[in-house]
Amino acid sequence: MAEETAKWTCLRCTYANWPRSKRCTLCEAPRDLPSIEDEMHRVDLGNSKKATGGWSCPTCTFDNWAASVKCTQCGTSSPLPSVSRSSIEPESSSSLTQLGFVKWTCSSCTYENWPKSKTCVMCNAPPPEAAHSVSNPNDDWLSACKAVITGDDKALQSFLLSSASQGIIFSRRLTSQDCLVLDQFLNQSVISGATPSIKPGLSVIDLAQICHRTDLVSLFSALSPAAPRTPSTPASHSGRGTKRSFCHSSSYAAKELRRLLDACVGQRRGEFPCLYLTEFGVFALPAEMTSLASTVQEVVFAELCDTDVQDELEVRSKAINWWVLDGQHNQPTSRLFALWNRTDGDCLLDSIMQACWGVFDTQNTLRQALASSLKACERHFFRAWREYETQQAANQYRPDDQQLLRDWRSVLDAANLPRVSLEQIHIFVLAHILRRPIIVYSVKYIHNYRNEPIGFSNFQGVYLPVLWERSFCSRDPIILGYTRGHFSALVPKEPQINGQCDNLDNEARSARSDDGCWDPAPTSDPLDDQPRPNSDPGSLHDQPEVTGSSQPTNERSLYFPLFDLQGQPLPTPFASKKGTSGDTQLLRDRLSTVPTRRGLLLARLRLPAARHHLVETIVRDWLSVYQNMSVEAVNEIPGCGISATSPFA
């Protein structure tokens, strides 16, 4: 009787049920439900991966299917040879193959696709048969494209030296299938910076330009069969055409120059421990450019200059070159040309290096000096920045102290991060690092894509190194141009060396401009106590002070206005108490100035008597390419000489 009244325990939920219950009261499981242990012994292992000839991964021990080329979990290649994998197929596979019902396994993701599928459904990779049909040079070309994206110089160099690169690296362009392969590669790789936009029809040179590989652009341009451009097929005049800067012509000399400039960064001890560059440099376009054929000058202008910036500053905004009088030669001024540089957050640093030495700041010499100077002299620069920001906001609102501290933290972070856009205060700090005034000619308004003004551009002005003593700085300015979110170096062209151009300083005192005659003598302090641009063709060292008796007789000077087209003086940010209008006395103290009849000031820029030997090498190598083109143009097209409409005429 006790056995009949004993409850039975459910094997699923362990509930104690009455003896007469055939099912569990809670989970309704039958009373005679088999235990889990018994079920495990009855599991059919006939369809397991091991039973069908699968293989165990030696790395992660995961059981993979026999057709898997690599491990599904960790990607390790299968240890089974191809013969053994094919031998484990069922006997009926031959008949199924004849009927066309056997799926093919993708070699990239191991997905089994139907026979009629031309590409893998999962990753769009071609079938194994199609992959083997692609020639090895094409695979090598895709590997070269991947090397351009990742910056793998060794892989690209090995491909260029191989015979597979002949006739394919420059002639072939990306197809839609190639773009799928590269997109998959980008998704699986860790690429620093923004992911490039890859589209069909791009060549390897276009891919290098999209990835901002300026060194590879010059290399491909030199190796390409179409590299020797003819005047009949000039480069595109848009700012996005193939570019060839000075540093692209002689990479070794440019690298050596950057190394020497990096070693010329010093730091003063004392109350203002700001870093500074021990050398001065002034870069100008060589005068020999005007002797090139007019068609070749158009090629030079399109490849060297940023034509979009040039048109914006010169034509639409009237910010530069309005002081050049057409039809008059031997003027005491020069037209400014906007040089092309890297289009990223380092454009300000590149433009300063170009205006001084003609090279890019690829070693981040100025950015490192900028970040270190802001950290070492944060108290001095923060005080100047806070006073300037307070003056700018005085008419609209009163800035909060916490907001100022947050903005200042953004200023410090921008200086430390590569390729991050810089602000006005950074130009002020760079003026102290270079120990020279920096003149920025800028557009007045910032426009959107509809060409509608959306705000003012506050970058225009003269940035003076007022925290240094005058004797420690140079009076020769660095001239930059600013358009929407981009800085460019504005460099003049060297005047012709002849009897008419040897006395430019005398002509400057008697020449006329639109606003009257210039006074016969400068009003600045004597120039014999200031550092001069380095004209020593030897190694870079501290330039000694040049007295008036030792001043080179063939030194040339050019003059540029410190006011805009409407006659408004350029502001002096962070230096003048006025903040929004130029301080005449301050400009006279820090620059070599000449007044006009209306009292407006012109800044004097002295060109060195001789270039540094590395800069000379870079310029000569760059110029020789176009001189050879000019000779060919004159021989092929008689009468193709210098024209009055040439860009550099």
Residues 425-451: what's their mean pLDDT? Answer: 91
Which residue type, as a one-letter code, is found at position 397? Y
Higher pLDDT among residues 13 and 240, named by residue: 13
Average pLDDT over residues 99-104: 60
Residues 6+ apart with CB under 8 A from 151: 211, 213
Token pair for 65: 């299917």
Percent residues over pLDDT 90 in the chain: 32
Predicted local confidence at residue 186, as pLDDT: 79
- Model confidence band, residue 539 (pLDDT cutoffs 50, 70, 90): very low
pLDDT > 90? residue 531: no
Mean pLDDT estimate for the chain: 76
CA–CA distance, 533 with 477 (Å, rounded to integer): 10
Please give the residue that has the higher pLDDT: either 219 or 145: 145
Alpha-carbon gap, residue 35 to 244, rounded angstroms: 80
- Determine the Cα–Cα distance for residues 546 and 507; give it in Å rounded to an integer: 23
Q: Which of 24-38, 221-235, 471-485 is most confident?
A: 471-485
- Confidence category of residue 45, pLDDT binned at 50, 70, 90: very low
Per-residue pLDDT of 606-636, as tens digits, reads: 999 899 999 999 999 899 888 888 887 776 6
pLDDT score of 293 more than 50? yes
- Are 649 and 335 in contact, with CB atoms under 8 Å apart? no
Contact, 289 vs 630, CB < 8 A? no
- Three-state SS letters, 59-117: CCCCEECCCCCECCCCCCECCCCHHHHHHCCCCCHHHHHHHCCCCEECCCCCCEECCCC
Q: 50 versus 7: which is more confidently predicted?
A: 7
What are 294-306's pLDDT values in tens digits? 888 888 998 899 9
Q: 135-150: per-residue pLDDT in tens?
A: 455 677 788 888 888 8
Q: 96-110, 182-196, 622-636: lowest mean pLDDT where?
A: 96-110
Q: What does the pLDDT look like over 141-187, one tens digit per residue?
A: 788 888 888 877 777 777 776 655 555 666 677 887 888 888 888 77
Q: Which domains does the chain have, with CATH numbers?
A: 2-41 (4.10.1060), 136-227 (1.25.40.560), 254-629 (3.90.70.80)
Q: Please choose, from the candidates 529, 530, 494, the residue with its C-alpha nearest in 3D space to the C-alpha of residue 611.
A: 494
pLDDT of residue 91: 42
Q: Tell me the pLDDT band of 639, cut-offs 50, 70 and 90.
A: low
Q: In 3-state terms, what secondary structure has residue 199?
A: coil
pLDDT at position 100 is 46
Q: Where is average pLDDT lowest: 445-449, 490-494, 596-600?
A: 445-449
pLDDT tens-digit series, residues 314-354 = 999 999 999 988 766 667 788 999 999 887 788 999 999 99
Q: Could you tell me the pLDDT band of residue 477, with boundaries at 50, 70 and 90? A: very high
Please count the other Cβ atoms lying within 10 Å of the Cβ belonging to residue 548: 9
Q: What percent of the chain has pLDDT over 70?
A: 70
Assess whether pLDDT exceeds 50 at residue 521. no
> 47-56, 124-133, 295-304, 459-468 — which one is most confidently predicted on average?
459-468
Going by pLDDT thresholds of 50, 70 and 90, the confidence category of residue 311 is very high
**DSSP letters spanning 14-41:** --EE-TT-SB-TTT--BTTPPPHHHHHH
Which pLDDT belongs to residue 148? 83
Q: pLDDT-derived band of residue 457, with 50, 70 and 90 as boundaries? A: confident
Phi-psi region of 24 (alpha: psi -120 to 50; beta: other; left: phi over 0): beta
The pLDDT confidence band at residue 549, using thresholds 50, 70 and 90, is: very low
- At 506, the pLDDT band (50, 70, 90 cuts) reads very low
Angle value at C-alpha 524, between 521 and 526, nearest 5 degrees: 90
Judged against a pLDDT cut of 80, whether residue 465 lies above it is answered with yes
For residue 354, CA distances in Å to 121, 289, 465, 598 come to 51, 18, 20, 33
Tell me, yes or no, if the pTM score tops 0.75: no
